[in-house]
Amino acid sequence: MGRVLLNERATPDGAMAEPGVVAERLQAATLAALGAHTGPDGRVDYAKLAASSQLAAAAEAGDALAHVRLEALDTSPARLAFWINVYNALVLHGIVRLGVRRSVLHVWNFFGRVSYRVGGHVFSLDDIEHGVLRGNRRRTLPPLRPFGRRDPRRTFMVTPSDPRFHCAITCGAASCPPVGVYRAADLDAQLDLAARNFVNQEVSLAGASLTCSRIFRWYRKDFEGAGGLAAFLLRHLDDGPARAALIAGAAPCTSFRPYRWTLQHPPLR
């Protein structure tokens, strides 16, 4: 099975708009569509969502991505905000298009196949996360870099990578962080808030050891540029037992809680 390209109707409208605006519009429309079909219990009517005018509006915003000028993303905050928004929208669009009802793990190679055409290039979820946002680091499986030496998409990598993005993207699973619409002008404050919320939710002291989200295990190397994982956690942890243990010299994240791969937004029963 090959790629699942979700903006195959691509129109030239995006060529007239600043890429950050297109991505913000896409993610805002995606979240609005999701919210319109989420009940009080947090469950989503995916059948109605798939056929809704709200999702059609989000898809139209996605179509415009194909013709944006990625070269116009000339600052690191602009580039990072753009790709975070695109990634998060693409995850939900992929879940809806492929009819996922339990977990993205039930779809073969979900992250390698679900894709948008962006600025004339095709990017899968893996390409965006590991190639663009992580600075072309190796995936877990297969342990390969998404972009080869001559891949023109290398031009659009976010370098240096900012590990706070791990607290701002969703893979569609229940253990992923909640997401919003990210804007270049406010990005530093938005990422700090996302990191603080996620770290305080997912890091706790159990006996003498710190228990953490598995994100901090899978991507531990990504935090080396932030002074190491301990320094990253200390920057974002509120005062409490976990922070006190780190200050006292406890090793960060020596145990990890199970990752819940059921859908972050569960379907109607």
Q: Are residues 85 and 211 located together in one domain of the fold?
A: no
Give the SS3 label for residue 255. strand
- Domain termination residue (choose one: 173, 206, 222): 173
Q: Encode pLDDT of 171-230 as tens digits.
A: 999 999 999 999 999 999 999 999 999 999 999 998 889 999 999 999 999 999 878 999
Instruction: Give the largest Cα separation in the chain, rounded.
Output: 58
Q: How far is CA 1 from CA 52, 107, 108, 140, 152, in A?
A: 27, 11, 8, 21, 24
Q: Are residues 11 and 75 located together in one domain of the fold?
A: yes
Q: Encode pLDDT of 199-211 as tens digits.
A: 999 999 988 899 9
Is residue 93 a part of any domain in this protein?
yes
Q: What is the DSSP letter of 40?
A: T
What is the domain extent for residue 112? 4-173
Q: Are residues 166 and 197 located together in one domain of the fold?
A: no
* Contact partners, residue 207, CB within 8 Å, separation at least 6: none
Is residue 263 a part of any domain in this protein?
no
Q: Encode pLDDT of 20-36 as tens digits.
A: 999 999 999 999 999 99
* Number of domains, the chain: 2
CA distance 60 to 54: 10
For residues 169 and 84, is the Cβ–Cβ distance under 8 A?
yes
* Contact partners, residue 252, CB within 8 Å, separation at least 6: 210, 212, 216, 229, 230, 233, 246
